[in-house]
Structure formats: C-alpha cells, structure tokens
Amino acid sequence: MQLATRAVVTAVLAAVVAVAGFLGNLPLTLAVGVLAVVFAVGWPALAGLPFKPGSTVVVALGGLAAVLTVHLTDGQPYLRLLPLVLAAAILLAFINEMMRRDGRERLVESVTGTVAGVAVALAVAGWVATGREPGGENLVVAGALALAVGSAVVAVHLSPWFSALVTAAASAGAGALAGLLLPDVAVSAGALLGLAIGVLVAALHTLFDKLPSLSRRIPPLAAVTLPVMVTGFVVYVVERVLVG
C-alpha cells in the first residue's frame, strides 16, 4: 500500500472516531473496538512475528478487553484496571508460545512482539476514557480532527524534515481551530494536543515508510490503524493534564 493511500485511510479512520465520539460513548467504544481487531490482524505480519495466528488472537483479546473494561469501569480514573488487563494479556502471550508446535523458533522475539502489540492495542482505550470525562467528547473530536489533518498532510511529498514540520504545524492548527469551535476545549489545549499528534504522525511515517512488508496486503492494516490507536493515549493524557 502506497504512502498516500495509507495516509488517506488513516485520515478516514480518524474521521470515523471523531463522528463516533460526537455521537456518544457507546458508538465510540464500538468504533475503537473494531479498530483494535483490525490492528491485531495486521500487527504480527507488520512486525514479522513467527506465529501470526496466536499473536493476532492475543493482541485482539487484549485490545477488546481494554476497551470493554474502560467502558464499564465505574468512576474515575477510568484506566485504573488496565494494568490487570495488561497482566492477563502477557500471561496469554506466554500461553500462546506454549501452544506452538513449530519448534518455537525466535521465542523471545515472538513474546516481545506480541506484548508490544498488546501495549499499542491497550492505548486505544484512551479514546473511551476521554469520552467518558465531562466534556471529553469534544476533546475526542478535536484529537481525531488533528489526527485526520496530520495524516492527510503527511502524504504530501516533501523533504523528511520539512514534512515533519508541516505535519506538526497543520495538526496544531487543526487542534487550535477545534478549540475555537468546540466548547470545553481551550485553544491552547487544542493546539498542544494537535502538535503532539502531528509529531506522532510524522514519527510513525518515518518509522514505517521504508518497510518492505507494506507492499503486501495484511501489514498495512496495522500501519493505518496504529496512529489512531496510540493517539487515544495522547488525547487522554492531554485531557487529564490540561483539561481535567
């Protein structure tokens, strides 16, 4: 999948999250739950893990459990049970290796890669936690808008450093604009959120752009969803530090 196509798909996914966040917490939970499953399908192939079916199941279960746990947690902080989810997912990662019948080659790489995928999958629960905060749905929309703009801008063919600067500036501008238009979101908070997301998008572009596996069909599923997953945690941190 070409860079421009991946950027457009990521921007569309970010727009879906924005709409879901605007509609309410349940649509947002369902949307990010689907994203967690899509990411889990693509991650083992993107990371080159040796036992892809098992790693996919572990990452998907970890992501879905995190999203459901945050959605059902009663009272703040909404992420307080995620360490238990992570611990259970790590245990599943070891059970996954015990079930292998291929000689368990690259055992350490398989475990660490699966756990890394779980950590990314858990980050998507930040969208749900932010949406449950008072006025948090507006910050969800602001973050998703900044992500959509940054993902679209990164597709423009520029020199690496200039592209990173333009992406960060465009995301910061989108976040500031969201702060102007949406209640409960300060312009400064929106701009800072957009800047952080723009830096994240530019960094992930640099990290994944040259991977040969992206020419295949399955690995891009993780590449296009990963920015949306990680941004969930960024949005939650900004909400707790600057808004909450």
Amino acid symbol at 24: G
Distances (CA, A) of 186 to 32, 131, 189, 244: 25, 16, 5, 12
Digit-coded pLDDT (tens) for 93-112: 999 888 888 777 888 888 99
Radius of gyration of the chain (CA): 18
Confidence of residue 47 (pLDDT cuts 50, 70, 90): confident
Which strand (E) or helix (H) includes residue 238? helix 219-238
CA distance 124 to 181: 25
Classify burial at 214, counting beta carbons within 10 Å of its beta carbon; exposed 0-12, middle 13-18, buried 19 or more: buried
Distances (CA, A) of 37 to 24, 135, 143: 21, 28, 21
pLDDT at residue 242 greater than cutoff 80: no
- Give the pLDDT of residue 94: 92
pLDDT at residue 45 greater than cutoff 60: yes
Digit-coded pLDDT (tens) for 79-95: 889 999 999 999 999 99
pLDDT at residue 28 greater than cutoff 90: yes
CA distance 209 to 37: 23
CA distance 31 to 150: 20
Check: pTM over 0.85? Answer yes or no: yes
Digit-coded pLDDT (tens) for 163-217: 788 888 999 999 899 888 888 778 888 889 889 998 888 888 877 777 776 677 8
Higher pLDDT, 158 or 186: 186
Q: Look at 95-104, 152-161, 222-231, 234-243 and tell me which has the smallest mean pLDDT.
A: 152-161
Q: How many helices (H) and strands (E) does the chain have?
A: 10, 0
The rounded mean pLDDT for the chain is: 87
